[in-house]
Amino acid sequence: MSVDIKTEGLQKLTEAWARGCEFLGTEYAILGGAMSWVSDRNLVAAISNAGGFGVIACGAMTPDLLDAEIKATKALTTKPFGVNLITMHPDLDALVDICLANNVSHIVLAGGLPSRETITRIKEGGAKNICFAPILALAKKLIRSGADAIVIEGMEAGGHIGPVSTSVLAQEILPHIKDVPVFVAGGIARGEAISNYLRMGASGCQLGTRFVCATECIAHPDFKKAFIRASARDAVTTVQVDPQFPVIPVRALNNEGGRKFIETQHEVIAKYKAGELDLESAQLEIEHYWAGALRRAVIDGDVEYGSVMAGQSVGMVKKEQSTAEILQELVSEAAESFV
């Protein structure tokens, strides 16, 4: 590609995601998806330092742990980054206060519909808030409640997912939301996909799976190897055996743990039907099967029985690379597709 054509592509890309970059305060409108045990200070700072927007995954952290993580991240980068908070966390208000006290510029609210009070608390504290919207009606409701930006995430993503694909969500939502920036997530691993969603009206994109094999990521080497070896069809959703015993849908690499989970459900349901367990106890036993399984996979490297959460884009993760190299590849691919 000639220098002139390459420059033209970069210019068009810069124009296409200008709103997202301005909102995030970044060079590139690419957010790092918040992945528990993965999106810590090291990966978050690396993404921000390379021009993207890193996001700390608070997950189940206590306020003190989050405070320490934010401070540690600030020691590694002077660039903007965000914090992802789970709306169902029992200490949500205290976590918001920790973010505001540390002058975190953006707070991402995930894992449920945030209240107007929480959104107002964030805005009055001087931070911007980003909310997840699984359908158009909720996106509009969140904007009325004061959301500064929206993320739409399709079922191709890793971890906890909804029932609708990214491409359908984009078609349903992007043409109708103009008041705030909208970022698209789920199944994105190449720059061409980013440019396509920008053309459709997105202000940027969020990627998680693509960054797991970054050299700065602290995930266990065996966890990364599992990603590199996997194909798209290996990233499957958890199987629910009986609707009376609901299972929260999670996308992860199929392994012995997943197969054992199906067996466990059958065993627990049989105990319930035999009168050995009441309904609530049986439901809790199934629900608690995966407790601690993500940490065992990410930190300890138990990729056989741990939960190896990964999006379907895992098939495009072929090697370990620096975060800067990953971002440059994405930007180059996106720019070239604009020519």
Q: Which domains does the chain have, with CATH numbers?
A: 3-217+317-336 (3.20.20.70), 231-309 (no CATH)
Which pLDDT score is estimated for 6? 79
Whole-number Å distance between alpha carbons of 63 and 96: 9
Phi, psi of 182 (to 5 degrees): -120, 130
Q: How far is CA 302 from the centre of its chain?
A: 22
CB 311 within 8 A of CB 167: no
Amino acid at 232: A
In the block, tokens 């592509």 appear at 9
- Dihedral of CA 241/138/60/155: which sign? positive
Phi, psi of 130 (to 5 degrees): -120, 130
Nearest-CA neighbor of 27 among 46, 50, 44, 43?
Answer: 50
**146 in the Ramachandran plot: left (φ > 0), alpha (ψ -120 to 50) or beta?**
left
Report pTM: 0.95
CA distances from 247 to 120, 232, 308 (A): 33, 22, 17
- Label the pairing between strands 54-57 and 149-153: unpaired
What burial class does residue 324 get, using C-beta atoms within 10 Å of its C-beta: 0-12 exposed, 13-18 middle, 19+ buried? middle
Q: Mean pLDDT of successive 10-residue segments in the chain (339 residues)?
A: 76 97 98 97 98 97 98 98 97 98 98 95 98 96 97 97 96 97 98 98 98 98 98 97 93 97 96 95 94 96 98 98 98 95
- Dihedral of CA 282/273/256/253: which sign? negative
CB 143 within 8 A of CB 180: yes
Which pLDDT score is estimated for 339? 86
CB 172 within 8 A of CB 180: no
Q: Give me 83's structure tokens.
A: 């914090």
What burial class does residue 330 get, using C-beta atoms within 10 Å of its C-beta: 0-12 exposed, 13-18 middle, 19+ buried? buried
Whole-number Å distance between alpha carbons of 247 and 179: 35
Which pLDDT score is estimated for 1? 56
Q: How far apart are the first and last CA of the chain?
A: 10
Q: Give me 63's structure tokens.
A: 């306020």
Whole-number Å distance between alpha carbons of 134 and 112: 10
List beta partners, residue 64: none
Q: Give me 214's structure tokens.
A: 């970054």
Which strand (E) or helix (H) includes residue 118?
Answer: helix 116-124
